A and B are shown apart, each in its own frame.
Chain A
């Protein structure tokens, strides 16, 4: 960690990365927008934002970020992905486009657009484990977690449906805490970040 303030990267190829930068800054970290391999240097954590997963998949290659991100994630860098970010982390993908690849870092199966088109996008109360106050979950053409691998802990759910999970240093949510300005999941992510270095 550089100094006392953790430096957390936010993948800024496409999507709602600005809102994650703002959430991380509210929590007292230094947020770095990441578009090139050089910007990955010296990070204590990495956020993968929501956006269009097929667009990000293509830009991961053209920016030269796929190999270095795969390497830092394998190295144990704490990562938190939301929506498309969860898709990027999943080991298995249903309904991906032909040839769509993921980082295969989190042992779950993600179903793209799991609830349907935009007409089915919704807001709902999400229950957090170990917290009595639910949070507002905004689900935008959201993926669904259709399989949770062994050793993957459920952090948030709607009924029986897991909507946020963690496995080791990897965290992911199918919804957008950054749009609801509720920083509790970001704070849980940062617990891992500050203990990492």
Chain B
């Protein structure tokens, strides 16, 4: 494979001449970007102005989408990939990685996002699924994918399809952290149990998890997922961010929580600092002061079963 030219890249030719073996889109490169995002906050933004606020507040990446999950939930209807023009506007406004969402199973939306050169594609349950049986074959793409999961089996099925990063789903657009806690505890708890198992018990567990055997064996051997594990869905305050980090997440997605609050710039910055200093209660108290109103929120329990996002995907 050859390196694609971007701007003043005369020496890419030199690379190929000398090595003949520069390679893009490898799993090392895909999961590598997720490794660099660790300990950071990825923020949902709906326009260039919000993206700039997020970058200035220390976001390690932004998720470009037309409506934050709280509005998708309120508006109802079908939620789809964002307008490319809006994504390009955000790419031009910031220098940090820009992610964007495709519908579950909608590989053409993913092809479009790849052609826009977004840095990560989120195959997301927040959008209305396009396929009830098949997720996108993510191994075919040069751009890495992040996927949601509610349990370990689901996480490993997504990695088996080529996902280079996992986020626990939680329940997006609620401001209620309870589902995020349930899912991260579920995923990490199952890994802990696997780690203590005899190798001959792992085969049966892989069958029960409906997950690829080699990936289940990896978790059992290493005591961790093969890729970075972020958390998402209902995280709305600095304390929520620190809670998820103490529970073992590698980093945090904050969606509606920031730009549905009273003072987004201040709250965004507080979430960034809380995610870094997650074991320091004094620091957490300091950054939690005078943040203005949090998003109003809605208890995840009050949402009818068929309106929950987390149940989408399998």
Residues in chain A within 8 A of chain B (CB atoms): 12-19, 35-36, 50-52, 54-55, 58-59, 62-63, 83-84, 95-97, 112-113, 115-125, 136, 138-141, 158-161, 176, 179-180
CA distance A97 to B3 in the complex (A): 26
Chain B residue, CB-CB nearest to A121: B29
Could you say which of A63, A139, A179 contacts B35, with CB atoms under 8 Å apart? Answer: A179
A124 touches B21 (CB 8 A): yes
A118 touches B35 (CB 8 A): no
Point out the residues of chain A lying under 8 angstroms from B28, CB to CB. 123, 136, 138, 179-180
B22 touches A122 (CB 8 A): yes
Given A17-B39, A140-B29: A120 touches B17 (CB 8 Å cut-off): no
Point out the residues of chain A lying under 8 angstroms from B297, CB to CB. none
Point out the residues of chain B lying under 8 angstroms from A116, CB to CB. 4, 6-7, 9, 117
Point out the residues of chain A lying under 8 angstroms from B12, CB to CB. 115
Chain A residue, CB-CB nearest to B228: A16
Could you say which of A63, A112, A123 contacts B29, with CB atoms under 8 Å apart? Answer: A123
Point out the residues of chain A lying under 8 angstroms from B4, CB to CB. 116, 119-120
Task: Give the top 8 A-B pairs by smallest Cβ distance, nearest first.
Answer: A116-B6, A159-B14, A118-B119, A159-B18, A58-B58, A124-B22, A52-B60, A14-B39
**Max count, chain A CB within 10 A of own CB: residue among B4, B38, B142, B143:** B38
Could you say which of B32, B39, B96 contacts A138, with CB atoms under 8 Å apart? Answer: B32
Could you say which of B32, B35, B272 contacts A55, with CB atoms under 8 Å apart? Answer: B272
Point out the residues of chain B lying under 8 angstroms from A158, CB to CB. 14-15, 18-19, 22
Residue interface mask B170-188, A partner, CB < 8 A = 1: 0000000000000000000
Check: B114 CB closer than 8 A to any chain A CB. Answer: yes
Check: B273 CB closer than 8 A to any chain A CB. Answer: yes
Residues in chain B within 8 A of chain A (CB atoms): 3-4, 6-7, 9, 11-12, 14-15, 17-19, 21-26, 28-29, 32-33, 35-40, 55-61, 91, 95-97, 114, 117-120, 142-144, 269, 272-273, 275-277, 280
Point out the residues of chain A lying under 8 angstroms from B35, CB to CB. 15-16, 19, 50, 140, 176, 179
A15 touches B40 (CB 8 A): yes
A124 to chain B, nearest CB (A): 4
Chain A residue, CB-CB nearest to B28: A138
Chain A residue, CB-CB nearest to B287: A62
Point out the residues of chain B lying under 8 angstroms from A83, CB to CB. 36
A54 touches B55 (CB 8 A): yes
**Max count, chain A CB within 10 A of own CB: residue among B32, B97, B117, B272:** B32
Given A54-B96, A123-B26: A140 touches B40 (CB 8 Å cut-off): no
Point out the residues of chain B lying under 8 angstroms from A124, CB to CB. 15, 19, 21-23
**Max count, chain B CB within 10 A of own CB: residue among A58, A95, A116, A121:** A121
Point out the residues of chain A lying under 8 angstroms from B38, CB to CB. 14-18, 51
Point out the residues of chain B lying under 8 angstroms from A121, CB to CB. 24, 29, 32-33
B247 to chain A, nearest CB (A): 16
Could you say which of A12, A50, A59, A112 contacts B95, with CB atoms under 8 Å apart? Answer: A112
Could you say which of B19, B32, B96 contacts A179, with CB atoms under 8 Å apart? Answer: B32
Given A55-B60, A119-B114, A123-B29: A84 touches B95 (CB 8 Å cut-off): no
